[in-house]
Amino acid sequence: MIENTKGTLLPDFHIVIPARYASQRFPQKLMADLGGKPVLQWVYELALHAGAKSVTVATDHDVIEKAALGFGATVVMTRDDHENGTERLAEVAEKMGWKGDEIIVNVQGDEPFLPVALIHASVEALSQDREAEMATVACAIDQVQDFFNPNVVKVVCDEKQRALYFSRSPMPWDRDGFAENPERSGFLPVGFPALRHIGLYVYRASLLARYADLPMSPLERWEKLEQLRFLHQGIKVQVAIADGLPTHGVDTPEDLEKLRHQLSLENM
């Protein structure tokens, strides 16, 4: 067990970093230089800093494998037909022999500045909810343009802080406050419980072992949100609440330039 950033003891957990070489919007982005080392190495080092029992880079490409081994990472080569990171995670869990309640964190390979506190918060959330099989993270929405942006995924929770639904649509809806031109009001009501989903996922190994047998749900097909597959099957998803939105990852060359600029300012 380790202490999190708030001094609370956490159970052992594993971190897996799914690392794809190809990307439609930014090919080879994980190998792109950021402050003298590849983006993937930043992610690996922050994962080590989180105090995980193990940190594994999961890839199907020899360029990623060679680079990761070069900076000292443990690498598991996976099949090249996975449709998403969760499938790759499930294969790693099976190969590593992780079973039952062992906790596995999916850290995306393009999130070099992901706060360790978010990893700890999500692990703590899952470990404290014995009925939940996975956890994720959300933060408050305070900008009206984010609330109405379909690229900002929203989540609503029950009294136990478990996810009720994820959607690209604005939710919850202030029936009276949004009666007329809600997007033009320029602000959200004080105390409005709008939450933005942050795509960090934590699983119990037993859930990953069943993942291949979980069919795509109808709502997932329409919303294009994989997490709806779990809710459709009645799987309980605990939601940790973050203090704010973390630094954006590397989706495009423009994102990379912003992070390079951020680093240069920090090093001045």
Q: Name the 3-class secondary structure at 31.
A: helix
What lies within 8 Å, CB to CB, of 263 at 6+ separation is 34, 35
Q: How far apart are CA 73 and CA 106, in angstroms?
A: 16
Q: Report pLDDT for 21.
A: 86
Cα 121 versus chain centre, distance = 12
State the DSSP H helix or E strand holding residue 239, giving kind and residue range, or none if neither.
strand 237-241
- pLDDT computed for residue 80 by the predictor: 87
Please give the pLDDT value at position 183: 66
Which pLDDT score, from 0 to 100, does residue 196 have? 96
Give the sign of the dihedral formed by CA 66, CA 43, CA 252, CA 200.
positive
Q: Which amino acid is at 46?
A: L
Residue ranges in the chain modelled with pLDDT below 50: none
pLDDT of res. 137: 97
Work out the mean pLDDT of the chain and round it to a whole number: 91
* Contact (Cβ atoms closer than 8 angstroms) between residue 39 and residue 109: yes
The residues spanned by each domain of the chain are: 13-136+196-267
Q: What is the pTM of this model?
A: 0.91
CATH architecture classification, 13-136+196-267: Alpha-Beta Complex (3.90)
**Can you count the helices (H) and strands (E) in the chain?**
9, 13
Alpha carbon dihedral 207, 39, 116, 107, in 10-degree steps, equals -10
